[in-house]
Chain A
């Protein structure tokens, strides 16, 4: 931790918060003792396999399961007919007419992407279920697929959903400031067409479900690895028309998610139907090829951008038309097409912005809220635009960025869309990252390297990671959407031995919530993290929950910890009341230390277990009016407001972590391959509860971003709609060999809006998409190459170099 910008007094004594203790979860997770869905075995359990569509777009004319049913070991088969008996279509977030869109957990009447489930088989063994899938005869009538957002808008384009009548499912224009005036006053207008490609999360553990329907009680128990089960609870309850008290959702350890696992509710339902039909529990474990093909990709977006600028590089305003290709079904969309609203001007201070936003369905896999959901696309677009502004004006991109950044003294800063950036020092962070790669030295050497024919370039970018979302922002999609705010529930108790137990019911999939919760609680009670037990995983019958529960949108350090702190204070107050009675002192004169409550400055103490004994077993000695037991619940609520529907503004998120990245790359002109020579990150997530865990998140996000920038892309065949990157042979998932050493440093700008000054940190915003694109463009600047795609594999760079060389001849 170098420069502490700590300015806010933290009300809770901090011994453990801020300490890089080893994560409690690590020993069990890295020695193979974690318990995942696939480790769950229930007597009499069957195994499922799914038959998926080979076509991107086709009518289903007939499904014949008779041969498959006769295969020994097959117990149940579910097709569209069964699904229609059990389910209603999922409710949609979009306004009419696209709200008519019919979406089920299986293809009904038509298949709309290659890989869409068409039938599900439960058998006594997985291999039998797979063989049975081969025996199911499906007669399709192939239809022309529509594989491009712009093609999908043409009047003669095939319709993905006839019931909607258009492929344009959502369109809205957002106009902030005075954009026309900004363009009238501009010295120059810069125009660009940009494309943000499709990649995904590729978690180590793919989607998994065990469904167990108990006929006796009518309770459906779903073991799953969903990241946001209480969001699913409403969807599943509504679609099954089943009261939610009859649905129990359990998530054990989860092996990564990156947002993709928010959408596993379709599988949770399909496997549940299979279990209900079979009358036996059913397990389904997705294989890698299914995982890649079944969607949960990130939003693909095309941008038509215009920037109004002054000669000195000052940005006056930006106009952007955005086409989001959201794939075959909406699921969580068009939220991803809206979420730029959290980072409307990015780290920049221009006030005038017009966004013409379009969400379009195609015959690709449906998108999911992938890490940096909807913000990455926008931040990357802004970064490309600002760099092109600089290059077209003959200025240094880094100087232009620094000139346009929000100043630290302007924080908290209200962006054009009403999102309030809480704290931070963007210019210092960028400069620090540049120092870490020896920026001045590389700039000095660069002309000589170019003369030698070596294309070495430097790139730097800063993205914000907006965390703790205000659900009310979806009312800007459709005013009737009945969601707003954000909340979290935590339950905490001290047992009769004086141990503290916390049930916070989040769904960590790599974020180590057990560790950070115990650090926060340890400080409140004057104990060590080892004295605090955090109930692992989530069980809707055990953990208190609200409709916002789950692990998503970079928020646990704010919302989860908000709930934990509230519960801890409530429990501490009760313990203090009882202890004060026992010690014949005033509660405000007490201190909590080492498992005891003591009168400050004396050795008059009672141990926690003595207090607990009174509360649980010896309650006639409790002070008057004190309820027995030491168990409390606290529900944290985010301090948000409803959006202004007229101005279309909303304070969409509570905290803004950010990362500044700087890198040096070398492009091989013969092969187009990019080699990263140096990479540095400066992270500022406010007060880090556990810097060790933050560092892990920073590394993960950086690796994710490098992978997206150079390796991973879901490529579809334009004419047949087949996914061509369907295994790790073609979907290039990086290994440690592809990732350089990453230098990391931190800054701390506590959030003024959270109790501990913490900010969410989980997503980290994949900044390499910006920094690497900038560095490649810089390296190739002698050739005048302009980077317009977020994915830059050797082939694309090679072609760009060859084209640029041809033009110069």
Chain B
């Protein structure tokens, strides 16, 4: 599944970069966060509650920040498992300046889901994943502007 989107943030690019390059800030935007560990500045482990339709459960995710090109480009790669399922997530973020001093964030995400959720929840999967990913980025925007 591939998703992408663009949104504008009323904050300068360096501020946006500083914010998103800190795992704690990103993790706050994960759905129903239960637990967070940050063993290294570019890695974090998160336990979240998520699901599709009636298939809900706890997932243990491990995220790594890759290809960091401050303050322009970053990648976040995550692998999660739980509830008889697996999720492999690759996201990329590109930041650019806007004439009004704000920042444009262009994001892409590729998700591969396996196991119970992929098979039983597949009718709802695309919509649910889209919502999850969009919420994540909307949350980042809110935190930066708020």
Contact = CB atoms under 8 A, between A and B. Distances in A.
A7 interface: no
B126 to A, nearest CB: 11
Contacts of A133: 84
Contact of B115 (A54, A724, A730): A54
Interface string A103-145: 0000000000010000000000000000001100010101000
A724 B82 contact: no
B113 A720 contact: yes
Contact of B118 (A52, A720, A729, A730): A720
A729 B43 CA distance: 40
Contacts of A54: 81, 84-86, 114-116, 118
A519 interface: no
B127 to A, nearest CB: 15
Interface in B87-146: 88, 112-116, 118-120, 122-123
Interface in A699-720: 717, 719-720
B84 A56 contact: no
Contacts of A293: 119
Contacts of A726: 119-120, 122
A55 interface: yes
Given A56-B114, A114-B115, A724 B122 contact: yes
A717 B112 CA distance: 11
A140 B86 contact: yes
Contact of B114 (A720, A727, A730): A720
Contact of A134 (B82, B88, B118, B122): B82
**In the complex, which of the residues A54, A114, A138 has the most CB atoms of chain B within 10 Å of its own CB atom?**
A54
A645 B120 CA distance: 48
Interface string B43-62: 00000000000000000000
B86 A727 contact: no
Contacts of B113: 720, 722
A289 interface: yes
A142 B82 contact: no
A54 B115 CA distance: 4
B102 to A, nearest CB: 36
A394 B113 CA distance: 50
A134 B119 contact: no
B138 to A, nearest CB: 26
Nearest to A114: B114
B112 A142 contact: yes
A731 to B, nearest CB: 10
A522 B123 CA distance: 56
B116 A727 contact: no
B122 A722 contact: yes
Nearest to B57: A134
Contacts of A138: 81
A289 B120 contact: yes
Contacts of B86: 54-55, 140
Interface in A327-356: none
A730 B120 CA distance: 9
Interface string A36-53: 000000000000000011
Given A54-B81, A55-B114, A134-B82, A722 B88 contact: no
**In the complex, which of the residues B82, B115, B119, B120 has the most CB atoms of chain A within 10 Å of its own CB atom?**
B119
Nearest to A719: B112
Contacts of A729: 123
Contacts of A140: 86
Nearest to A140: B86
A530 to B, nearest CB: 49
**In the complex, which of the residues A133, A717, A723 has the most CB atoms of chain B within 10 Å of its own CB atom?**
A717
Contacts of A56: 114
Nearest to B112: A720
Nearest to B119: A726
A134 B123 contact: no
B31 to A, nearest CB: 20
A730 B119 CA distance: 10
Contact of B119 (A55, A142, A719, A722): A722
Contacts of A724: 118-119, 122
A163 B116 CA distance: 30
Given A54-B86, A142-B88, A722 B123 contact: no
Interface string B64-88: 0000000000000000011111101
B49 to A, nearest CB: 14
A722 B118 contact: yes
A134 B84 contact: yes
Contacts of A723: 119
Nearest to A142: B88
B125 to A, nearest CB: 10
Contacts of B118: 54, 114, 717, 720, 722, 724
Nearest to B81: A54
Nearest to B117: A54
A55 B119 CA distance: 11
A727 B112 contact: no
**In the complex, which of the residues B113, B114, B116 has the most CB atoms of chain A within 10 Å of its own CB atom?**
B114
B78 to A, nearest CB: 13
A167 to B, nearest CB: 21
A721 to B, nearest CB: 8
Nearest to A293: B119
Contacts of A730: 122-123
Contacts of B82: 134
**In the complex, which of the residues A53, A114, A717, A722 has the most CB atoms of chain B within 10 Å of its own CB atom?**
A722
A61 to B, nearest CB: 12
A727 B120 contact: yes
A729 B53 CA distance: 14
A723 B118 CA distance: 8
Interface in A719-757: 719-720, 722-724, 726-727, 729-730
Contacts of B112: 142, 719-720
Nearest to B116: A54
Contacts of B88: 142
Contacts of A142: 88, 112
A140 B115 CA distance: 13
Contacts of A52: 84, 115
A330 B119 CA distance: 24
B55 to A, nearest CB: 11
A418 to B, nearest CB: 44
A114 B118 CA distance: 10
Contacts of A289: 119-120
Nearest to B85: A54
B132 to A, nearest CB: 17
A727 B113 CA distance: 17
B18 to A, nearest CB: 33
Given A54-B114, A56-B114, A722-B114, A114 B84 contact: no
B1 to A, nearest CB: 9
A145 B24 CA distance: 35
A786 to B, nearest CB: 30
A53 B118 CA distance: 12
Nearest to A133: B84
Interface string A42-75: 0000000000111110000000000000000000
A52 B113 CA distance: 15
A712 to B, nearest CB: 16
A717 B120 CA distance: 13
Nearest to B115: A54
A751 to B, nearest CB: 45
A417 B116 CA distance: 45
Contacts of A727: 119-120
A114 B120 CA distance: 13
7 contacts: A52-B115, A54-B114, A54-B115, A140-B86, A722-B122, A726-B120, A729-B123
Given A719-B112, A720-B114, 5 more contacts: A114-B119, A133-B84, A720-B113, A722-B113, A722-B114
Interface of B: 81-86, 88, 112-116, 118-120, 122-123
Query: Nearest 6 pairs between A and B by C-beta?
Result: A54-B115, A726-B119, A54-B114, A722-B118, A54-B86, A724-B122
